Amino acid sequence: MTVGVSLTGGQGVVCALAILAEDYFAVERLFRHPMGSAAAVEEQRVDASRVTLCKGGWWTSTVVDHYFPVLNMKLLTGKCIHDPAELWVPVVEKACAKLHGNYTNLAETDALRALQELTGYPTCRWDAMLRDASSHEELFDRLCRFCELGFIVVLDRPNLTSGKSSFQRLGLQEGNACVVLSMKMFQPLPSNGGSGEHQQQGIHRLVRVRNPFGSARDWVGDWNLWDPAWQANPVIAAQCGHDKESAEDGSFWMEWRDVVCCFNGCGACFTHNLFYEYRVAGLCGKGGIPGCVIKLEVSRRMYILGMLQQEVRGVEGMLQPILLQLSRRYVPEAAQMPSSADALHNEANAKSQTLLKRADARKQEVVLNSTADCDCPSPDLLTFRASSQVSFICELLPEYSPYYLIPRTTSDEMAYVLALFTSVPCGRGSVGDGAPATRSASVSSTPLPTAAGPFAQAKFMRLSSKTKVFSDSLRFEVKLETPVKCRYQVTSPTDSPLTFPSMFTDNCIR
């Protein structure tokens, strides 16, 4: 999808829309209507469109008209280049501007933050690693893994002061962003006589990038469409699918060393399209005590993505320091499960099973704390960050159930949304019909469950303010917990892309 540059300040939103257009269903999800498709058609007859955005962690439907800013009879917002009559880009940009107060306020929204609002999934940046030469190989490996998992990897903050003439030809401007489609590393075959330095010089780290505001022919650096290196390396050309005659999608290959010189920012949006999605609204009271934590009782191995979000109120709204913690049933080291598969039926395993059953579920230990890097949560370091969201991905095992997902803040009062994405459904009954989803591919290899019934119970609890976890203790006892009723939204991967999230009020997910 080729989009035009926005001159209203919403260039970050337009970049995010161009990136999101890689997936048709992701764009379709933006136009979910709380009253159904028929109501959406009726509103469109009077030139009104409804856009669903994740505002402060909560799916919110916003209606906008079809009047857009123009200058000299030219549209100032983003647009579809090949079909100016296609209005979905300016409609979504206007909806984002409405949520932020006006178009001018969109100038502070970069592509990754916009992706968070458009998709509801967490995002994370690694700008510091991109600037640190000693971290370049580690960062490449990490981003390569994210591409393989299906996450959205973004390069932004173009280095406009770069002296590379090849980069200048791309025409990237401040606020622009490119999506990474794939990453590959090629190593030379080991030779007995070759030195380590020589072998290192033969390594090629290639990145396939799409520039939504240009053409593949704009890149004239290493590994451009006409670079003789493709003919000199037929194996690389074959694995990269190089074909200069069919490069009309705007994508091109770059050497990783050129990427780190041409961009000052990078990050990822952790999409989990085949996970079940639950969003619980809560409020922190005096002393930052959360009004709701999620108690998870797990009956089988599962994966979760936990996310704590807060809403910025007002143009100059301040973000409160927040932290997301995960605790599990405390089990003494003697009761830890054996790591060797050969020990599954020996005496030590039987003893461990006995100790696990005797472990008191009220005694908990914090095992994960959110950090600036949602891919690397800390087991023991508590970091409160003034951020719109914090998150982590982890695995839950039934032998350590129950788990508690605990939102924290240093503020006396804060409204928050605790989002939970799970590989299996929660509640007393399956969410959806359990049939495999037909939408875009999941980032997880975990298949959707086909058996009826839930694999996890998610209960909404209020812990006593005297619970030691609120005094930053990593081990605590749940002496008093009270069920609380909360509003929550549910989205199933088996739903149609146009199905608006279901909304309930209860003391657990049903």
Q: How many domains does the chain divide into?
A: 3
Q: What are the residues whose beta carbons fall under 8 Å from the beta carbon of 20, sequence distance 6 or more?
A: 26, 27, 30, 115, 118, 119
Instruction: Give the total residue count for the chain.
Output: 510
Question: Distances from the Cα of 202 to the Cαs of 141, 198, 207, 256, 432, in angstroms?
Answer: 17, 7, 16, 13, 51
pLDDT value of residue 455 = 82
Q: Do 320 and 465 belong to one domain?
A: yes
pLDDT at 84 over 70: yes
Q: Where are the beta strands (DSSP E) in 285-413?
A: 293-298, 302-310, 321-329, 363-369, 385-386, 389-396, 403-409
- Whether the CB-CB separation of 202 and 188 falls below 8 Å is answered with yes
Partners of 48 in the β-ladder:
65
Neighbours of 464 (CB within 10 A): 13
Q: Which secondary structure element, helix H or strand E, spans residue 37, and what is its range?
A: helix 37-44
Measured between alpha carbons, how far is 77 from 88 in angstroms, rounded to an integer?
11
User: Is residue 345 one of the residues assigned to a domain?
Assistant: no
Q: Do 376 and 483 belong to one domain?
A: yes
pLDDT value of residue 428 = 64
Q: Do 282 and 318 belong to one domain?
A: yes
Q: Express as a percent the part of the chain with pLDDT over 70.
A: 83
Q: Do 46 and 97 belong to one domain?
A: yes
pLDDT at 436 over 50: no
pLDDT at 440 over 50: no
Average pLDDT value for residue range 23-36 = 93
* Structure token pair of residue 382: 């508590």
- Whether the CB-CB separation of 371 and 384 falls below 8 Å is answered with no
- Whether the CB-CB separation of 262 and 125 falls below 8 Å is answered with no
pLDDT at 445 over 80: no
Q: Do 385 and 501 belong to one domain?
A: yes
Q: Do 155 and 281 belong to one domain?
A: no
Of 202-206, 339-343, 431-435, the least confident: 431-435
Report, as residue numbers or ranges, the catalytic residues.
211
Q: Do 221 and 303 belong to one domain?
A: no
* Structure token pair of residue 63: 């209606």
Q: Do 423 and 476 belong to one domain?
A: yes
Q: Which secondary structure element, helix H or strand E, spans residue 29, and what is its range?
A: helix 24-29
Task: Report which listed range, 17-31, 210-224, 451-465, is most confident.
Answer: 17-31
| Cα dihedral 254, 258, 259, 260 in deg (nearest 10) | 160
pLDDT tens per residue across span 362-379: 999 999 999 999 999 999
User: pLDDT confidence of 432, banded at 50, 70, 90?
Assistant: very low
* Structure token pair of residue 211: 């520039």
User: Is residue 68 one of the residues assigned to a domain?
Assistant: yes
User: Is residue 479 one of the residues assigned to a domain?
Assistant: yes
Average pLDDT value for residue range 289-311 = 96
User: Is residue 195 one of the residues assigned to a domain?
Assistant: no
Q: Do 324 and 219 belong to one domain?
A: no
For tokens 């609002």, the residue is: 117
- Whether the CB-CB separation of 15 and 176 falls below 8 Å is answered with yes
User: Is residue 351 one of the residues assigned to a domain?
Assistant: no
Phi, psi of 392 (to 5 degrees): -160, 160
Amino acid at 476: F
What is the edge-to-edge ordering of all strands in the sheet holding 486-491?
Answer: 389-396, 302-310, 414-422, 276-284, 486-491, 502-506
Q: Do 174 and 210 belong to one domain?
A: yes
User: Is residue 442 one of the residues assigned to a domain?
Assistant: no
Average pLDDT value for residue range 290-313 = 93
Task: Report which listed range, 32-36, 186-190, 233-237, 267-271, is most confident.
Answer: 267-271
User: Is residue 207 one of the residues assigned to a domain?
Assistant: yes
pLDDT value of residue 441 = 36
Q: Where a domain ends, among 269, 299, 319?
A: 269
Q: Where a domain ends, among 86, 103, 119?
A: 119
Helix axes 88-100, 111-119, angle to 10 degrees: 100
Closest of 277, 208, 271, 249 to residue 18, by C-alpha? 249
User: pLDDT confidence of 438, banded at 50, 70, 90?
Assistant: very low
Closest of 203, 207, 211 to residue 144, by C-alpha? 207
| Mean predicted lDDT score pLDDT of the chain | 86
Indicate the SS3 state at residue 76.
coil
pLDDT at 15 over 70: yes
Measured between alpha carbons, how far is 370 from 390 in angstroms, rounded to an integer?
6
Measured between alpha carbons, how far is 84 from 89 in angstroms, rounded to an integer?
10
**Higher-pLDDT residue of 286, 216:** 286
Phi, psi of 123 (to 5 degrees): -130, 160
Q: What are the residues whose beta carbons fall under 8 Å from the beta carbon of 131, sequence distance 6 or more?
A: 264
pLDDT at 215 over 90: no
Amino acid at 366: V
User: Is residue 394 one of the residues assigned to a domain?
Assistant: yes
* Structure token pair of residue 454: 């839930």
pLDDT value of residue 2 = 67
Cα atoms in the 13 Å half-sphere on the side-chain side of 154 = 32
Instruction: Tell me the Ramachandran region of residue 373: left when phi exceeds 0, alpha when psi lies from -120 to 50, beta otherwise.
Output: beta
pLDDT value of residue 357 = 59
Q: Do 256 and 128 belong to one domain?
A: yes
Give the CATH number for residue 482. Answer: 2.60.120.380
For tokens 């005797």, the residue is: 358
User: pLDDT confidence of 200, banded at 50, 70, 90?
Assistant: low
pLDDT at 73 over 60: yes
**Higher-pLDDT residue of 192, 97:** 97
Closest of 251, 162, 264, 269 to residue 208, by C-alpha? 251
pLDDT at 229 over 90: yes
Give the CATH number for residue 166. Answer: 3.90.70.10
pLDDT value of residue 175 = 80
For tokens 């009782």, the residue is: 297
Of 37-51, 191-205, 313-327, the least confident: 191-205
Average pLDDT value for residue range 284-310 = 96
**Higher-pLDDT residue of 107, 314:** 107
pTM comes to 0.87
Average pLDDT value for residue range 276-287 = 96
* Structure token pair of residue 9: 């300040």
Task: Report which listed range, 95-104, 190-199, 439-448, is most confident.
Answer: 95-104
Please spell the DSSP secondary structure of 382-398, one letter per residue.
---EESSEEEEEEEE-G
Measured between alpha carbons, how far is 35 from 273 in angstroms, rounded to an integer?
23
Q: Which domain holds residue 31?
A: 3-119
Q: Do 179 and 321 belong to one domain?
A: no
Of 23-27, 319-323, 435-439, the least confident: 435-439
User: pLDDT confidence of 482, banded at 50, 70, 90?
Assistant: very high
Neighbours of 232 (CB within 10 A): 9
pLDDT value of residue 164 = 64
Q: Where a domain ends, among 223, 248, 269?
A: 269
- Whether the CB-CB separation of 303 and 444 falls below 8 Å is answered with yes
Of 60-74, 131-145, 232-246, 450-464, the least confident: 450-464
Closest of 94, 90, 111 to residue 102, by C-alpha? 94
pLDDT at 277 over 70: yes
pLDDT at 113 over 90: yes
